[in-house]
Structure 1
Amino acid sequence: MSSAEREATESDDPVAYFLEDITFQGKSQRTRDAYERVLREFEGYLDDRGLELSEANHRDCMAWIHRLRGSVGESTVATYASYLHRFYGYMTEVGTFDENPMALVLEEIDESINVDPERRDITVPAMRSFVADVGNPLDRAVIVTLLKTGMRAGELCNLDRRDLSLNDSPFATDHRPQLDGKPDSLYVDASPKAGDRYNEEVRTASNKRKRATTIPIDEELASVLVEWLAVRPDPRSDADPLFLSTADEWGKRLTPDMVHHLVEMHARDQGWYRDGGGAEENVTPHYFRHFFTTHLRDRTGDRGIVKYLRGDVAQDVIDTYTHDWGDRVREVYEANIYRLL
């Protein structure tokens, strides 16, 4: 797209301009579609009132949000408001709009909107029963990895074989130097970004953690990974992805959309997912991250180690846990990680 064409898109269709930019920033197709659906709905609402997106004030935004109540859940209202806020904030930063009307709205918005909704409360025994019903080796390995590590779907998709160190496995291969002296571990780098070349392959997902993290592998996760490696197809990529499609895209690196689809399929079978259900109801890959955080934090009483494993902490805290990694992180993890098999 030429500069002239981009400027025309920016002024004539601000939504398309914004969607293109968040795609460049590495947002998944699923996220892009969600933004487009919300922004086009709001754009249609303004059009009925004879207004352009650039002309909306805080009262227009508040009136639309008020209209949503009763038709969608409160957590969905909060999500829609955050999408609108980011859209206007970005368009203001790039100079297309003069101001962000949502900045004031978020200050005024009803406190009953829960931006961090209470999610479905699933016990460890119930999750164990759920895992027992997953027979496909790939699906089982993906779900148990997410549940045992708390990593994001995109981070799981970016794992290569070199990021896995298995001590007693017939499928052991050379691992990256960062795993030297750390047997039975997964290395989750912070570097991969969507659209960038990493380990000789252009990635379709970004890792969002603040720092690279080494996560212990317990006996259960090791066993399902060995089962997966026994049937894993030959990869199409020289990067040797750990998780590969066994369906239409045979041998291709899994994408976040593929991971969402397989988790949704099994969650539907369990009655844990329905169309139109919000974050407080539907079980998704992100729910598994929530499950990991909640249960491991409650068991350890150590927020620091959980934050380290999630990749959410700054360098000084990382240093605390990596200095004596084997004794501190692994011992606490293995003593407290829940059983799923």
Structure 2
Amino acid sequence: MSESEATDDPIGYFLQDMVYHGKSERTRTEYERVLRRFESFLADPDVNPAGRSVVPADATHRDCMAWVHSLRGTVASSTVAIYAAYLHRFYGYMTQVGVFDSNPMTLVTEEMDESIEKDPTRRDIDVPTMRAFVADVRHPLHRALVGTFLKTGIRVGELCNLDLQDLSLDDAELSNAYDLGGRPQLDARPNSLFVSSNPTVGEQHNGDVRSASNKRKRDTVIPIDDELSQLLKSWLAIRPDSVSPADPLFVGTSEGWGERLTPNAVHNIVTTYASEVGWYRSGGGATENVTPHYFRHFFTTHLRDRTGDRGIVKYLRGDVATDIIDTYTHNWGGQVRETYESNIYSIL
């Protein structure tokens, strides 16, 4: 995008640079939604304080402050703070690269009362209620997605990056049909899932350019219980052949037939079901919305309460230090699998 194009459409310029910085499609979509909403506010003389159409480059701190104020009462206060942070970053970046002269959001954010909740109190869903939710998910792919989230606590990007070689299932018929469990980390560990720390957005992994990054600090092997095994087998029975040489575990069955699912596609699947039971609404924050990330919270909370072992849960989440994770890696069957199988909740 040229300098003149950057001036004509600074939001488009910013979003293009986000691509170069490796930001996910979902993140860019969220930024665009918020920034275009701000742009529309500025362009409407009936709602902005200037009383005339204003472009983002000419917005003052008063214009920004008025937009933030217009959000209050329409979204949660923490969401107001998130939207303001998006706008602040936009102006900060455009000022830094020399397209804008100054950042009008600096003063606004200093004066704001709202704060982004770092650890929000999320919707409290018990296991029986979640079990009823899963019962209403009928499509084998969707059931396998939700089941994998609930039984493993992995992130949406990590789920999308799973390949058939990352899955070990003790099933002779499936093993003949698919090249499962090719990872050396899965040797002597039947019925388990390998989650790598390596995949990075925009880079090749196992011969396939990835649309998301895995954020865990270390490779992790997660046990698969009978319920998740059942859900995965039902999915593999109808899984289309993949167009990717990496053979993704989860691929599209409608748009993008046979292509690796993206985080955005998985997010839409989950939130569609959540909307039907009143667990998701557009503009809702983390305190009320059930998204793929909510399942990680659910897994962490319920498994930690059942095991009383924070170390095991941290190992399964892939967010522990080397010395701790090595302890569980060396005694995986006797410590990780036994603890997991003794305490994992039922979702079917």
Category of TM-score, reference length = shorter chain: 0.7 to 0.9
Q: Aligned equivalents of 2:94 and 2:297: distance in 1? A: 32
**CA distance in 1: counterparts of 2:251 and 2:116, whole angstroms:** 39
Aligned residue pairs total 337
**Aligned partner of 2:9: which letter?**
D
Confirm whether residue 67 of structure 1 aligns to residue 74 of structure 2: no
Alignment-derived partner of residue 28 in structure 2: 32
Equivalent residue for 1:210, pick from 205, 211, 217: 217
Stretches of structure 1 lacking an aligned partner (at least 5 in a row): none
**Residues 1:134 and 2:137 aligned together:** yes
Write the distance in 2 (CA, Å) between the matches of 1:106 and 1:213: 39
Instruction: Give secondary structure in 2 for the equivalent of 1:175.
Output: coil
Match of 1:159 in 2: 162
Q: How does 1:162-177 map to 2 (within 5 A)?
A: 162-172=165-175, 173-177=180-184
CA contact (8 A) 2:81 2:115 kept: no
Question: Is 1:121 matched with 2:120?
Answer: no
SS in structure 2 of the partner of residue 231 of structure 1: coil
Show the counterpart of 1:225. 232
Distance in 2, Cα, partners of 1:97 & 1:303? 48
Aligned counterparts of 2:197 and 2:263: Cα–Cα separation in 1:
17
Range that drifts further, 233-242 or 260-269: 260-269
Does 2:188 align with 1:181?
yes
Q: Is the 8 A contact 1:307 1:313 kept in 2?
A: yes
Q: Distance in 2 between matches of 1:279 and 1:295?
A: 18
RMSD across aligned positions (CA): 2.8
**Where in structure 2 are there 5+ consecutive unaligned residues?**
none
Any conservation in 2 of the 1:187–1:214 contact (CA below 8 Å)?
yes
Equivalent pair of 2:75/2:284 in contact (CA under 8 Å): no
Alignment of 1:144-293 (within 5 A): 144-172=147-175, 173-293=180-300
2:162–2:248 Cα contact (<8 Å) kept = yes
Alpha-carbon offset, residue 28 of structure 1: 3.4
Shift of 1:303: 2.9
Summarize deviations over 1:161-183 as a string: whole Å, max 9, x none: 00011124521334211222322
* Residues 226-270 of structure 1: CA deviation (Å, up to 9, x unaligned): 121122222122211111222233222222222122212322333
Which residue identity lines up with residue 158 of structure 1 in the other structure? N
- Conserved in 2, the CA contact under 8 Å of 1:78 and 1:115? no
Mapping of 1:73-92 within 5 angstroms? 73-91=76-94
With over 3 angstroms needed to count, the CA separation of the structure-2 counterparts of 1:185 and 1:238, relative to structure 1, is: same
Asked if the contact 1:212/1:311 (under 8 Å) is kept, the reply is yes
The one-letter code matched in structure 2 to 1:82 is A
Per-residue Cα deviation, 1:91-128 (whole angstroms, up to 9, x for no partner) = 45545557666566555532566454322211100001
Q: Which amino acid aligns with 2:155?
A: R
Q: Distance in 1 between matches of 2:5 and 2:311?
A: 46
Q: Deviations over 1:70-97 (max 9, x none)?
A: 2222132122123224334444554555
Identity %: 64
For residue 193 of structure 2, give the secondary structure of its aligned residue in structure 1: strand
1:338 equivalent in structure 2: 345
State the partner residue of 1:303: 310
Contact preservation (8 Å) 1:152, 1:286: yes
2:326 to 315, 319, 331: 319
For residues 282 and 31 of structure 1, what CA distance do their matches in structure 2 show?
A: 17
Distance 1:258 1:320, change over 3 A: same
Secondary structure, aligned partner of 1:289: helix
- Secondary structure, counterpart of 1:170 in structure 2: helix
TM-score of the superposition, structure 1-length normalised? 0.86
1:24-51 per-residue CA deviation (whole Å, 9 max, x = no partner) reads 3343333222211212333455565487
